[in-house]
């Protein structure tokens, strides 16, 4: 084989010489199946040797279905016979591999959104090369979808083929590592002389999907929870993705008021001139305004009051009319105005907010938390340890004819798992137990 033939078959690769006899190539013709010995291989070409009496069945410039067997791994390919040459005892052939992408993979690529805006801290990975003993493929992730990955690697990885499965470990910055199996569906080279590989996930489990979603929430600038769930990612715990703090500037407070208006604005649907300022009341100046931020944007908020007398509580006017025995006011915190950006609902963010509100109550030496809720929200609060005070009322922020209801949590009782399931305790209270001194 001269240099021109080598360059046509393998460029931009330098072919890998195959030194073991088990590397076989089967060429399927209309008349027979021809068995060949592979001499050199790259992702784009094959040099092989075969018996002289079989070469007559092959025609140059013809496409054939083929089967490669390397290191006990069989791969079906399509190849184009570039040349055939007779030797003294054997004939040699050159095959150009045609990396055709199947229609199902093309459809899936069009259907699934690709997340690509994370160049600075892109995931990296390592995969065991199934075609070469004790060989590993190092790669960097170019884009991510719920269906698969596009990765790039060095051209030194010559023993790689469409159809092989790469058992890989991904390293996700700020998140951790995760094991995934990747089916190679497409192989290209780039202008920068790098290997570009399109891969499809095989049986991506819920944990791996959740970690990928967490990574994208950290680093993809166009990502939110709604877009990830729409694409099929399993969005799990979000605590490490968001920043939890308090409103510290006029700009923060304006964002809080706008978020309240989005959440509660429908209560003013009969008031066409409703303003953001309708979301402000006298208690805001007395409260700590808790906020959750994602990439600098406030995406959730709640208000926490720590008064020393019940007259300073927003909902005391409903309590004082009832024969209810309440704890001393200096032991009670009041939380209200919980709201979450619509793009971030349907995740664990509600549990994370409750966790931080309780921690805030503990650090302010409060043993109880009071909240008000409509009938729909009441079910949620009861599931996480709040108990009803049997006080119902009509509030400006309750829908239609729905009544508001007051509930209270005994923090000590709840952290001791007295009135909640173990699953809820693990989600919300596990990390609080070490902070709370009964």
| CATH classification of the domain holding 80 | 2.40.10.220
CB 362 within 8 A of CB 397: no
Q: Is 129 in the same domain as 199?
A: yes
Q: Is 276 in the same domain as 422?
A: yes
In a domain, 130, yes or no: yes
What does the pLDDT read at residue 119? 64
In a domain, 437, yes or no: no
What does the pLDDT read at residue 263? 80
Q: Is 46 in the same domain as 111?
A: no
Domain C-terminal end among 98, 113, 135: 98
Label the pairing between strands 165-172 and 176-189.
antiparallel
Q: Is 90 in the same domain as 109?
A: no
In a domain, 356, yes or no: yes
Name the one residue in this structure whose structure tokens are 């209810």.
324
Q: Is 152 in the same domain as 287?
A: no
Q: Is 219 in the same domain as 250?
A: no
In a domain, 167, yes or no: yes
Q: Is 216 in the same domain as 344?
A: no
What does the pLDDT read at residue 110? 47
Q: Is 317 in the same domain as 353?
A: yes
What does the pLDDT read at residue 217? 82
State the DSSP code for 309: S
CB 143 within 8 A of CB 149: yes
Q: Is 25 in the same domain as 45?
A: yes
CA 400 to chain centre: 38
Q: Is 217 in the same domain as 264?
A: no
pLDDT tens string, the chain, 438 residues long: the values are 566 667 778 888 888 888 777 799 999 998 999 999 999 999 889 999 999 888 989 999 999 999 999 888 888 989 999 999 988 888 999 999 987 655 555 555 545 677 776 666 889 999 999 988 888 999 999 999 889 999 999 988 888 888 899 999 999 988 889 999 999 999 888 888 889 999 999 999 988 998 888 888 878 777 777 778 888 888 766 656 788 889 888 999 999 998 988 887 655 545 556 667 777 888 888 889 999 988 788 999 999 999 888 778 787 777 777 777 888 889 999 998 999 988 887 777 888 889 889 989 988 889 999 998 887 788 889 998 999 888 887 765 555 556 778 899 999 888 887 778 888 888 788 878 776 555
pTM: 0.65
- The total domain count for the chain is 3
In a domain, 237, yes or no: no
Q: Is 351 in the same domain as 428?
A: yes
In a domain, 238, yes or no: no
CB 369 within 8 A of CB 361: yes
Question: How far, in Å, CA of 267 to CA of 263, rounded?
Answer: 9
CA 405 to chain centre: 37
CATH number at residue 274: 3.40.630.30
Identify the sign of the CA torsion 200, 234, 203, 173.
positive
- Residue 412's domain comprises 243-432
Which positions ≥6 away from 88 have C-beta within 8 Å? Answer: none
Q: Is 111 in the same domain as 94?
A: no
């Amino acid at each position: 084989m001269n240099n021109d033939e080598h360059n046509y078959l393998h460029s931009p690769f330098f072919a890998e010489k195959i030194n073991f006899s088990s590397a076989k190539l089967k060429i399927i013709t209309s008349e027979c199946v021809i068995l060949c010995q592979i001499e050199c291989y790259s992702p784009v070409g094959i040099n092989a040797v075969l018996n002289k009496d079989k070469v007559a069945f092959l025609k140059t410039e013809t496409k054939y279905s083929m089967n490669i067997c390397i290191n006990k791994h069989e791969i079906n390919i399509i190849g184009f016979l570039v040349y055939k040459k007779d030797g003294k005892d054997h004939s040699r052939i050159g095959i150009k591999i045609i990396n055709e992408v199947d229609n199902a993979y093309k459809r899936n690529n069009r259907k699934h959104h690709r997340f690509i805006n994370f160049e600075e801290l892109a995931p990296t990975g390592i995969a065991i090369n199934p075609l070469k003993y004790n060989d590993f493929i190092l790669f960097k992730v170019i884009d991510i979808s719920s269906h698969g990955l596009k990765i790039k690697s060095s051209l030194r990885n010559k023993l790689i083929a469409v159809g092989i499965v790469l058992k890989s470990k991904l390293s996700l910055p700020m998140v951790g590592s995760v094991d995934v199996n990747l089916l190679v569906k497409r192989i290209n080279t780039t202008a920068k002389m790098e290997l570009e590989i399109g891969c499809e996930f095989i049986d991506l489990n819920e944990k791996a999907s959740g970690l990928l979603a967490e990574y994208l929430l950290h680093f993809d600038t166009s990502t939110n929870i709604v877009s990830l769930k729409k694409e099929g990612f399993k969005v799990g715990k979000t605590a490490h993705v968001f920043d939890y703090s308090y409103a510290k500037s006029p700009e923060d407070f304006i964002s809080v008021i706008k978020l309240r208006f989005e959440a509660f604005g429908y209560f003013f649907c009969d008031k066409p001139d409703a303003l953001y300022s309708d979301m402000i009341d006298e208690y805001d100046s007395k409260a700590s305004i808790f906020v959750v931020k994602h990439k600098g944007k406030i995406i959730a908020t709640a208000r926490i009051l720590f008064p020393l007398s019940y007259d300073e509580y927003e909902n005391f006017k409903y309590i004082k009319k009832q024969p209810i025995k309440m704890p001393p006011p200096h032991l009670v915190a009041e939380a209200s105005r919980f709201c979450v950006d619509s793009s971030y609902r349907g995740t664990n963010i509600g549990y994370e907010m409750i966790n931080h509100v309780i921690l805030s109550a503990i650090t302010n030496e409060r043993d109880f938390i009071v909240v008000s809720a409509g009938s729909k929200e009441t079910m949620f609060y009861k599931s996480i340890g709040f108990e009803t005070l049997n006080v119902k009322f009509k509030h400006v922020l309750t829908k239609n004819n729905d009544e508001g209801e007051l509930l209270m949590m005994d923090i000590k009782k709840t952290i001791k798992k007295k009135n909640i399931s173990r699953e809820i305790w693990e989600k919300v209270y596990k990390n609080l137990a070490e902070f709370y001194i009964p």
